[in-house]
Structure 1
Amino acid sequence: MGLNLYARIEEFLDFEEEVRRLHKEFLSILFHKQQNNILDIGCGQGAFLQHLKFNDVQAFGIDLSSEQIKHCKEKGLEASCTALKDVKEKYDCATAIFDVINYIPPKEIPTFFNEANLVLNQGGYFIFDVNSLFGFEDIAQGSLNINLEDKFIAIDAVFEDEKLTTDITLFSLSKNGLFKKEQDFIVQFYHKLAFLKKALNDAHFEIEEIKNFNLHSFDEADKLIFVCKKK
């Protein structure tokens, strides 16, 4: 799946305001729960890690994209290209922000939740967001073209069979004056509320709260934020 290609175009997608608002909500939850030893799962280029560092919160990030981790290290952040199952340390809280859970196929969710439980100290928190059905059907679908001086980006996202497939095409200007074409895709999955509740319970998490969150300016929530505690 094209996570590294997505990492190279992410800064041009103009999601900064949405990401800032979502991070602010997560920070509010963490401060309310007084969490100070955090594993950020799917940390991306480290934007949330930067917020935590600025607020003197101890945190470490992991991501499956080496390209994203390279950005983290350039910012002086503690992060590693490591799968959750390979994390040996224990944390008081784990976060998974901005669609991380939606990248995981349904059949792998129970294992992922169990792995999240294992990296937490007793009574630790697992806090994550997922896209609602409205978020997939009415927000995420569509096409986007970005025309810059040295690159052209084309994105086409289609939601069907409870799966959002986003095709990415990048044309980059090379030193010889010609454009190099790269293509890949990413897939996100819609997870029903009942399915997530059962998987969390089976992984020995208690759901303390499920918050509706409007990432975009609509009346209906396009995201749900889960605040869960290790039993």
Structure 2
Amino acid sequence: MGLDLYAKVEPYLDFEEEIYTLHREFLRFVMTKDLDNIIDIGCGQGYFLENLKVNKKKYFGIDLSAEQIKVCQEKNLNAKAIDLKDVKEKFDCATAIFDVLNYIPKKDLKAFILTTNIVLNQGAYFIFDVNSYFGFDEVAQGCITIDLEDRFIAIDANFEDNKLQTDITLFEKQKNGLFSKQSDSIIQEYHTKEFLIKLLEDTGFEIKEIKEFNLHTDETADKLIFICKKIA
């Protein structure tokens, strides 16, 4: 999957406002509940980890993209490029921000949530967001092109059969004046609220709240935020 290529183009996508808005929502919950000892699953380039660090929280970030973790380590953040199943520590809160669960195929999602349960202490919180159907169908799909002096980025996202395929192409100017080309794809899956509720209840979590959240538009909620507590 093209997560490493996405890491290269992400700084040019102008999502700073959306990142700030969603992270503020998660951080508000962390601070209100006075949570500490937090694992951020799919931490990306560490934006949420920076918020936790500034607020003196104990934290650990993981991501499958070595490119993303390289950025975290350049910021002196506590993060590693490892799979969740290889984490040995226990935490009092787990976060998975910016539709991390949508990147996980439906057939693998129960195993992921079970593994999340394993790395949490009893009574710990699991907080995550997913894209709504509207978020996929009306917001996420479409085309973006970015034309800069030393690079050209093209992103084409198509939502069909409850899956969003995002094709990424990057042309970068080399020292000889020629451009090199990289291309890859990312697949995300739409998960219904009912499907997620059943999975969470079957894997030892109590759902405390499901919040509709408007991130990209005021028209209709494009995200759902799940606040869950480990009870088994």
What range describes the TM-score normalised by the shorter chain of this pair? over 0.9
List alignment gaps of at least 5 residues for structure 1. Answer: none
RMSD value over aligned CA atoms? 0.5
Residue 25 (structure 1) aligns with: 25
Letter in 1 for 2:114: N
Deviation for aligned residue 1:22: 0.1
Give distance in 1, aligned partners of 2:99 and 2:149.
30
Residue 73 (structure 1) aligns with: 73
Per-residue CA shift, 1:21-73, capped at 9, x if unaligned?
00000001111221011000000000000011011111000000000000000
Q: Determine if the alignment matches structure 1 residue 211 to structure 2 residue 211.
A: yes
**Matched position secondary structure for 2:217:** coil
Which segment drifts farther, 176-185 or 216-225? Answer: 216-225
Residue 166 (structure 1) aligns with: 166
Residue 4 (structure 1) aligns with: 4
Give distance in 1, aligned partners of 2:150 and 2:187.
27
**Matched position secondary structure for 1:201:** helix
Deviation for aligned residue 1:174: 0.5
Give distance in 2, aligned partners of 1:217 and 1:103.
22
**Matched position secondary structure for 1:156:** strand
Give distance in 2, aligned partners of 1:41 and 1:191.
18
List alignment gaps of at least 5 residues for structure 2. Answer: none
Residue 106 (structure 1) aligns with: 106
Query: TM-score, normalization: structure 2?
Result: 0.99
**Matched position secondary structure for 1:191:** coil
Give distance in 1, aligned partners of 2:181 and 2:84.
32
Give distance in 2, aligned partners of 1:33 and 1:118.
21
Aligned runs of 1:112-151 on 2, under 5 Å?
112-151=112-151
**Matched position secondary structure for 1:184:** strand
Give distance in 2, aligned partners of 1:218 and 1:159.
21
Per-residue CA shift, 1:100-136, capped at 9, x if unaligned?
1110000011000000000000100000000000000
Query: TM-score, normalization: structure 1?
Result: 0.99
Letter in 1 for 2:54: F
Q: Determine if the alignment matches structure 1 residue 87 to structure 2 residue 87.
A: yes
Query: 4+ residue runs of structure 1 moved beyond 3 angstroms?
Result: none
Deviation for aligned residue 1:216: 1.4
Letter in 2 for 1:9: V
Give distance in 1, aligned partners of 2:32 and 2:166.
36
Which segment drifts farther, 213-222 or 194-203? Answer: 213-222
Give distance in 2, aligned partners of 1:32 and 1:192.
28
**Matched position secondary structure for 1:198:** helix
